[in-house]
Amino acid sequence: MLEEILRQVQKGDLSVAEAKQKLATYEDLGFAKVDHHRKKRQGFSEIVFGEGKSAEQIISIIKALREKNNNVLVTRISKAKAEHVIQECPEFIYHDIAQILLWKNEAIEVANDSKGYINIICAGTSDLKVAEEAAITAEALGCNVQRMYDVGVAGIHRLFDHYEEIQQATVSVVVAGMEGALPSVIGGLVSHPVIAVPTSVGYGANFHGLSALLTMLNSCASGISVVNIDNGFGGAYNAALIYQLAQKGAGSE
Amino acid sequence: MLEEILRQVQKGDLSVAEAKQKLATYEDLGFAKVDHHRKKRQGFSEIVFGEGKSAEQIISIIKALREKNNNVLVTRISKAKAEHVIQECPEFIYHDIAQILLWKNEAIEVANDSKGYINIICAGTSDLKVAEEAAITAEALGCNVQRMYDVGVAGIHRLFDHYEEIQQATVSVVVAGMEGALPSVIGGLVSHPVIAVPTSVGYGANFHGLSALLTMLNSCASGISVVNIDNGFGGAYNAALIYQLAQKGAGSE
Amino acid sequence: MLEEILRQVQKGDLSVAEAKQKLATYEDLGFAKVDHHRKKRQGFSEIVFGEGKSAEQIISIIKALREKNNNVLVTRISKAKAEHVIQECPEFIYHDIAQILLWKNEAIEVANDSKGYINIICAGTSDLKVAEEAAITAEALGCNVQRMYDVGVAGIHRLFDHYEEIQQATVSVVVAGMEGALPSVIGGLVSHPVIAVPTSVGYGANFHGLSALLTMLNSCASGISVVNIDNGFGGAYNAALIYQLAQKGAGSE
Amino acid sequence: MLEEILRQVQKGDLSVAEAKQKLATYEDLGFAKVDHHRKKRQGFSEIVFGEGKSAEQIISIIKALREKNNNVLVTRISKAKAEHVIQECPEFIYHDIAQILLWKNEAIEVANDSKGYINIICAGTSDLKVAEEAAITAEALGCNVQRMYDVGVAGIHRLFDHYEEIQQATVSVVVAGMEGALPSVIGGLVSHPVIAVPTSVGYGANFHGLSALLTMLNSCASGISVVNIDNGFGGAYNAALIYQLAQKGAGSE
Amino acid sequence: MLEEILRQVQKGDLSVAEAKQKLATYEDLGFAKVDHHRKKRQGFSEIVFGEGKSAEQIISIIKALREKNNNVLVTRISKAKAEHVIQECPEFIYHDIAQILLWKNEAIEVANDSKGYINIICAGTSDLKVAEEAAITAEALGCNVQRMYDVGVAGIHRLFDHYEEIQQATVSVVVAGMEGALPSVIGGLVSHPVIAVPTSVGYGANFHGLSALLTMLNSCASGISVVNIDNGFGGAYNAALIYQLAQKGAGSE
Amino acid sequence: MLEEILRQVQKGDLSVAEAKQKLATYEDLGFAKVDHHRKKRQGFSEIVFGEGKSAEQIISIIKALREKNNNVLVTRISKAKAEHVIQECPEFIYHDIAQILLWKNEAIEVANDSKGYINIICAGTSDLKVAEEAAITAEALGCNVQRMYDVGVAGIHRLFDHYEEIQQATVSVVVAGMEGALPSVIGGLVSHPVIAVPTSVGYGANFHGLSALLTMLNSCASGISVVNIDNGFGGAYNAALIYQLAQKGAGSE
Amino acid sequence: MLEEILRQVQKGDLSVAEAKQKLATYEDLGFAKVDHHRKKRQGFSEIVFGEGKSAEQIISIIKALREKNNNVLVTRISKAKAEHVIQECPEFIYHDIAQILLWKNEAIEVANDSKGYINIICAGTSDLKVAEEAAITAEALGCNVQRMYDVGVAGIHRLFDHYEEIQQATVSVVVAGMEGALPSVIGGLVSHPVIAVPTSVGYGANFHGLSALLTMLNSCASGISVVNIDNGFGGAYNAALIYQLAQKGAGSE
Amino acid sequence: MLEEILRQVQKGDLSVAEAKQKLATYEDLGFAKVDHHRKKRQGFSEIVFGEGKSAEQIISIIKALREKNNNVLVTRISKAKAEHVIQECPEFIYHDIAQILLWKNEAIEVANDSKGYINIICAGTSDLKVAEEAAITAEALGCNVQRMYDVGVAGIHRLFDHYEEIQQATVSVVVAGMEGALPSVIGGLVSHPVIAVPTSVGYGANFHGLSALLTMLNSCASGISVVNIDNGFGGAYNAALIYQLAQKGAGSE
């Protein structure tokens, strides 16, 4: 593309000023354009981190994003703040447990012919908040999602009811607090990538999630990588990237 | 399969003792068999963690593995120990920087029609050991690998020479010590999964890799997941799983 | 000065009691006098750390300081407390985001012929509070300030729009939370001193700013020094000292 | 007993000096006597912590202990030091992996009619040193011991081959390094007490055993308690106390 | 049991479908059944972790549990939440200090012929909350409990009043905050297992219980194992398992 | 410069290929060129981090650097390695305490008309290694340096002998281990920037320099910024940047 | 005393029952008696730790203590709780900053002929709470106290105004937050014991007082010992013990 | 003294130059003089910290110190280094366990009429090194010392044999590793100051002495203050200051 611009200058098809702007674009907006293309192609929603932003700030951001006709996803937004936003933008829907505010652009028709699914696994009710953040995010990013919320290491036998569903997923997101051992067990049962999400659930020597985080980083099972404590969004985003790769195949970009 | 066994018992085609053994197998060796199949299909090598094992132990393990006609990979093995092993198993080759001992079974003809590549990125000479562990591992697991070892955050402009190669990878493994900021920068440039590998390179307040680890876990770029400090093998293994998914597509298992 | 006093004693121009008092002053008030002189000469404001002080305490302190005809700066003061103070001292202005209460003495005419500027850089909206504390402080200390709040490591290309403004600053204050990688990138682009300010922005494994702090201390870019977590004031104060040096030149004191 | 002594004094059966000595004994040697009795009754060996003691110091201690005709157990003693000791005390046997030096007094005939067993479980070869310290210690303390060294969380199915042996133990000692998840899994399968022993096996973010320690302390399975990192001896000692209780029953002391 | 099922299939006593279901049960419900049996036999209550569950969730869980005619124990439930539950389930009794909600099924007649007792020891009033959680739990699990709440390391002589009661317990649960030294002292006085429960009581360098936790893990007294900070329930549960073993003896399962 | 290139293309003074190379240079080598210019102008040496590089690697790097006729500085190089290098490059001189290998290019005549000085302050003999690394580095970077090695907080009066030299420095580098209090004291005495360098000198609760690092980050004196533990080079580099600014003045770049 | 009791039994002057009670006392109440004696002799108040106790509990404790005619000191009691107590016990006086509730028994006439003083030193207003806890405590324990609250390391010259008062104290209690360097400076100026009290004052990398704590533990000045973070009471209690020793002299007990 | 100098100048007895030098001395050497006086009066030895100093450096320092006819104490000096020094200075004696090199100046006749003693208490053989450093130091500083090395928390009854010696000490230095509980127990038994010295003895979760350090800082017994890990010297120095105070009484300086 650089060569083309230069040739156009040489030929006089492009003034120096025009070329200068284009080359600046090559450096700067070029990146954004790629982003823009990628999002359209993949149906990925725009994502807003809601924590620490006022309802007013969120409203002005999501109005701008909505203009682009993309889905819009706001994570880590409290119920009170979300209700405030919905008064202004009633097309948004609030997911209570996940603390996510979501607008799905119905105008974007997504023919869902995607194969496989992301398996979101967690042990119990206390990790639900993070698991749901992952699940809603992955769905908003256009992936098939399966929730598997009734399994935990302390009753390992429950996993075996679901043995085939666990193995056949395209990629797994495993959410666990306290000792965080579940990803190791899942990692030993499957041959696909596992994204481990430690949670701050627990007390005392869990040190706000440090315990689960270290467990997952030191897993003796191969094929496990880890995101930040309570980062359900990050777990889902990584899984969605992998899921998309599995849809379109390598080298197709 | 369970049903089949039961029917054979019913018909008298299988004695109770035979059925009992088969059902035990279903529970136990069954897993291994799947593993075995997967490895053949994917050309994945068998992997031995060499640290803390004696040369004698390693020799007896790799002799057993070699019987199965798979590739064999020994990680974290010192030069001295490797030389000891090679005297007994001269078909093995030692990779000095990566501290890996490898046997590629020539009998397994791998028609390499795979597309895309894993991009192994690191900043400088001090992280080479971990980056090479990742690179050799990924190659042994049958992936196309590209090394990009001349880029670092403190001279961010060097990344732009390689802008297209960085973007077009199927998956990236980014190895960094000291402040460990490279994955954040790469993560902001690409739309594929990034596996971040913190290293213990540095001194003082790097606290043996803690600094780089925390940086990577807290990355504000989406699409980054993290493995243990100095775990080049783990980074490569995760990348290889993703790479394989991109080859065969989702739902094909 | 010591010699002078002694000679005056010798000559009888000074009684022993007077000399004793003067020499005590040499040890004690001497320091304060120098401080006093420096502040006048540099136009540095008096600074009050507002946290943990009652509105009443602050009022009595700033009334005393105002007597000296200096600018007066109160940092880390909540809106409620500030409003209480302003009722008593209506000439003060409150800076909401920075949580700073400031009085600029109009009587002090500052002919601003200073060259260069302090560049206050931060990534996003969540670090604004700390960045603004730095910016308002630096301005109150008599420096030219440029704010650059729209750049972040995860979209590194945005930095290149501002490449020249980044390089031409006299000194940079770089404010970053989460992984805190921005100072490393800035440090690699410039040849002037960079003061890095880690913030507690983030969650989970950021451990209240520890992550960003370690990143900055381990930066592989040269020319970066670090202040305490969320210490926007400290970052600005260091930068102002350097900025003043660059105005007046070395050895001129 | 106190009353008895006083009555003997009253009656003149005991001089004041004799009584004084007896009462001192009641306070002081009394404890030792109880200890002495307990050891005889339970066949518990005397135990010497070998680390940081010279071969000479160990020799003089074990000679004294041998006089009492008890078994003698020296833990954490290197091979070199042990060989030095054995030259002087050839009746001792050195256990290489466990780094234990042991003398079993053949003169003490122990009719082993004890029921049940302590199950020492660990995952792989790297934790063997700690597991063997536990196993040899428990045997020296007169317990039936079963070793189960071929099971690990990353291949959870291997546990199911041993399902009955795991459940039927009297008490389990579970040794694990890296992520240390094995005790949680075992704890979920059994209804007897589990003593968890974290090991320092691993690297990077295992922080010398901290990872496994925190995992075990935060286990979501009930019935697990934890000892110090690498403390195979402590794990076995706790298990032996429980095992003895199960032999003799409560309230029998 | 597996063999039996197969033989029934062979004989035609069992259809393939029935056998399949039974074998699935062997893997899955089988565990639960064992649990069920164990609970009946031992009189163990069902236990609900109340923290992070709403009153409504708790009500629906305990109603289900009550159906099974077991005792029901809810730990870590605030007074407000408990009162809400009691309105719906008035047969429950709330233990204020322990923050436990308990229903004892009068229909289950427990002939208490158990010998020995669990000794719950703590130093002062600040650790009472955790000690009572342990005591109420142990009682609900069917154990004899003795409370010993007036002893502390800083007045070591107070222990000696209770010397015999301390020694004659079947198992001790020792609860301590601040420096957490009490378990070491108790461990040196007794020859039965000691479960140490660190508490977060204290301030400053106690780091929310870390201090007491490390003290207990490093105890130089043998026979001490440790549970999580403030985990009075866990301490009692471990003690109850040991206590039950001492009742029924080893090998009787 | 971009505009110029485009105009030359337009005029035909530059072929497309030549322009493409130049523009690439603008992006990439351009930075290096700026660096190159800066170094010449400021007399800054090229700097090699010696740790973790072999003597052979160092020899080949410094030969390349020497070609550019710059000074060459190798930090953190052991005596043995340095002697190895000197055999090949005898014009280099080794500074034993600082562990620096230095070549000053005599061909570069530096007319030293610079004013002021960097004051390198440390307390005692144990911090000398780090202080000398700072001093030699600052000298190699072309700065006037004053060493003040005989002062320490525990004998605060010694500072007052040097009161004027301390105050009149352009910038101070204060090196301290153990409790690291010296920078706070110096910071309270001066009105110029202080770069604090914590060292790992000490034992026990100094936690390898963490103690001194935290002290310096929390200094209640304004005007102090901090570099990594034992990073004498970094301290000097920051000070040299400030020193250069004070020579040439702001806005002169 | 033991001998005496026995002789009285022998002579029949004491019944067995009486002797038994006395000997129990020797073991148990004996300690308390000594305490009681010591308190009377030294005029030491009884001390109640108020945190975590209800107003009702405090009222009942102090009523009991008051019976003994001793002074009574309640530390760490909030204003609200104290006012509640005072309604019931109006002879108590509340010290607001120190959060101490105190009753001085006027009936105990203390002829204050004690020499020397405890010097309570702190830097600024934010440490006042802890310093006052120390000062009120020391006074309540019968010591002469001098407050020196206007000195801080960042303005070290202020110390020299008070040079003689600093040196002539019997023992110093030095209270400091943030970097906590003041005890090192005081320790270098005096030849009497210094008790250092770190406070949690500060933010960010002070980690709730860890910074000041480590500084004080690593002080290069001799003669400094440290108590827990914010433990003004503990600092004063240690100082009071030393002060008493200096009054009565060694060997006089 | 200041007044005197000024009067001499006034009278002409002193030239301005002489006075200037004297006043400088007043500021600087004045402190040293006081130190010098104090040492003579108290018989305190000069102390050299041997770690990190070469034998040559130590030799030159102790030769200089010996000139002043004081005792000379070198701490933390290895046997090899000490032997090297003794060849040059044969009047020195090396204390092997304490790693102290000591010269007692026989010329200084110390009439030892001091009362009371410092009690150095430790639990077992592994803490001996630190305890002996304390004991030798305290003796070299002219104090009466009693060693009590046969007591430990895990066998608390052993303390009661020594109950009177423990109580009658002037000041106690209590050395403990592992869980470090001994100072709490001693602190509860005595009414004199206790200096607690944590040691790094132990393994695993003792984290190189952190465990014992935290225990001691959080002690629930009053009258305990703490020095750095393994700092036997510091413990003894603090105790010696207190011991001296008890000899001479307060206010006598």
B32 touches chain C (CB under 8 A): no
Contacts of F12 in chain A (CB under 8 A): 10
Q: Please say if the pLDDT value at position E190 is more than 50.
A: yes
The string of DSSP codes covering A197-221 is EE---S-GGGGGGHHHHHHHHT-SS
- Measuring CA to CA, how many Å separate F32 from each of B123, C186, C191, F50? 17, 15, 12, 21
- Interchain CB distance below 8 Å, F156 and G189: yes
Candidate from E7, E12, E16 with C-beta closest to B6: E16
Confidence at A31, pLDDT banded by 50, 70, 90: very low
Q: Does the beta-carbon distance from B249 to A115 stay under 8 Å?
A: yes
pLDDT at G28: 35
Contacts of F8 in chain A (CB under 8 A): none
Residue of B125, B157, B206 with shortest CB distance to F31: B157
CA-CA-CA-CA torsion sign (F107, F108, F114, F118): negative
One-character DSSP codes across chain D: -HHHHHHHHHHTSS-HHHHHHHHHHHHTHHHHHHHHHHHHHHTPPEEEE-TT--HHHHHHHHHHHHHTT--EEEES--HHHHHHHHHH-TT-EEETTTTEEEE--TTS-------S-EEEEE-SGGGHHHHHHHHHHHHHTT--EEEE-S--GGGTTHHHHTHHHHHH-SEEEEEE-TT--HHHHHHHH-SS-EEEEE---S-GGGGGGHHHHHHHHT-SSSSEEE--TT-HHHHHHHHHHHHHHHHH-TT--
Is residue H37 very low, low, confident or very high in pLDDT (cuts 50, 70, 90)?
very low
CB contact under 8 A, A9 and F12: no
- Mean pLDDT on C46-57: 85
Q: Report G:111-140 residues touching C (Cβ under 8 A).
A: 125-126
pLDDT at D70 over 50: yes
Nearest CA to B213 among E134, G237, C204, G104?
C204
pLDDT at H157 over 60: yes
What is the mean pLDDT of the segment spanning C56-68? 83
Q: What is the pLDDT of residue G82?
A: 96
Query: Which token pair is B234?
Result: 């783990």
Mean pLDDT computed over C189-195: 92
Confidence of residue A194 (pLDDT cuts 50, 70, 90): very high
C178 and B219: CB-CB below 8 Å?
yes
What confidence score (pLDDT) does residue C44 get? 65
pLDDT in tens, G177-220: 998 999 988 998 888 999 999 999 999 999 999 999 999 999 88
pLDDT at position H109, please?
A: 56
Looking at the predicted structure, is the pLDDT value of residue A215 above 80? yes
Give residue limits of the domains in chain D.
23-108, 118-251
Residue G30 pLDDT greater than 50, yes or no: no
> D232-248 vs E232-248: helix axis angle to the nearest 10?
50
Span A148-159, average pLDDT: 72
Q: Output the pLDDT for position H240.
A: 95
| Torsion angle in degrees (nearest 10) through CA of G49, G52, G56, G58 | 0
Report yes or no on chains E and H touching (3+ CB pairs under 8 A): yes
Check if the interface score ipTM surpasses 0.90.
Answer: no
Whether pLDDT at C124 is above 80 = no
Which one is predicted more confidently, E106 or D31?
E106
List CB contacts of D201: < 8 A, sequence separation 6 or more: B52, D126, D127, D177, D178, D209
Over residues F23-44, mean pLDDT = 40
Contact: H158, D28; criterion CB under 8 Å: yes
Q: Are A122 and A130 in contact (CB under 8 A)?
A: yes
List subunits contacting chain D, requiring 3 or more Cβ pairs under 8 Å: A, B, E, G, H
**Is A215 an 8 Å CB contact of chain D?**
yes
- Which chains would you list as touching F if contact means 3+ CB atom pairs under 8 Å? A, B, C, G, H
CB F148 within 8 A of CB F123: no
Residue of E178, E135, E126, E125 whose CA lies nearest to E153: E178
Bridge partners of B94, per DSSP, are B101
**Cα of D133 to nearest chain B Cα, Å:** 17
Cβ of D27 within 8 Å of Cβ of G27? The answer is: yes
According to CATH, the topology of domain F118-251 is Rossmann fold (3.40.50)
Residues 6+ apart with CB under 8 A from C14: C5, C8, C22
**Chain B contact for A33 (CB, 8 A cutoff):** no
Contact exists between A and B (3 or more beta carbon pairs < 8 Å): yes
d(CA G165, CA C167): 54
Question: Chain F contact for B210, CB < 8 A?
Answer: no
CA C180/CA C233 separation, integer angstroms: 18
Nearest chain A residue to B157 by CA distance is: A27
For residue H244, give how far its alpha carbon lies from the nearest alpha carbon of chain G (Å).
9
Q: Which of E40-44, F46-50, H61-65 has the lowest mean pLDDT?
A: E40-44
Nearest alpha carbon to residue E46 among E137, E145, E173 = E137
Is some CB atom of chain F closer than 8 A to the CB atom of G218?
yes
**What ranges make up the beta strands (E) of chain C?**
46-49, 72-75, 93-95, 100-103, 118-122, 145-148, 171-176, 194-198, 224-226
DSSP single-letter state for residue H187: H
Q: Is E163 in the D-facing interface, judged by CB distances under 8 Å?
A: no
Asked whether C223 and C187 are in contact (CB, 8 A), the reply is yes
| Least CB–CB distance from F215: residue in G187, G189, G215 | G215
In angstroms, the CA B68 to CA B46 distance is 10
The pLDDT value given to residue D46? 75
Of residues E84 and H23, more confidence is placed in E84
Average pLDDT for H225-253: 88
Look-up: residue for tokens 């005898």? F90
Query: What's chain A's average pLDDT?
Result: 82
Q: Is the pLDDT of residue B154 over 70?
A: no
Scan residues 165-184 of C and list those with Cβ closer than 8 Å to B.
178-181, 184
In this predicted model, which residue has the larger pLDDT, A197 or D113? A197
Closest CA to B211 of B224, B221, B202, B223: B202
Calpha distance F220→F185 (Å, rounded)? 10
Residues from chain E that touch A155, judged by Cβ atoms under 8 A, are 31
Mean of the pLDDT values across residues H163-191? 91
**Distance, first Cα to last Cα, chain C:** 17
The count of other CB atoms within 10 Å of the CB of residue A243 is 27
Phi and psi angles of residue C71, each rounded to the nearest 5 degrees, phi first: -65, 155
- Per-residue model confidence (pLDDT) at position C110: 56
Q: What pLDDT, on a 0 to 100 scale, did the predictor assign at position H14? A: 80
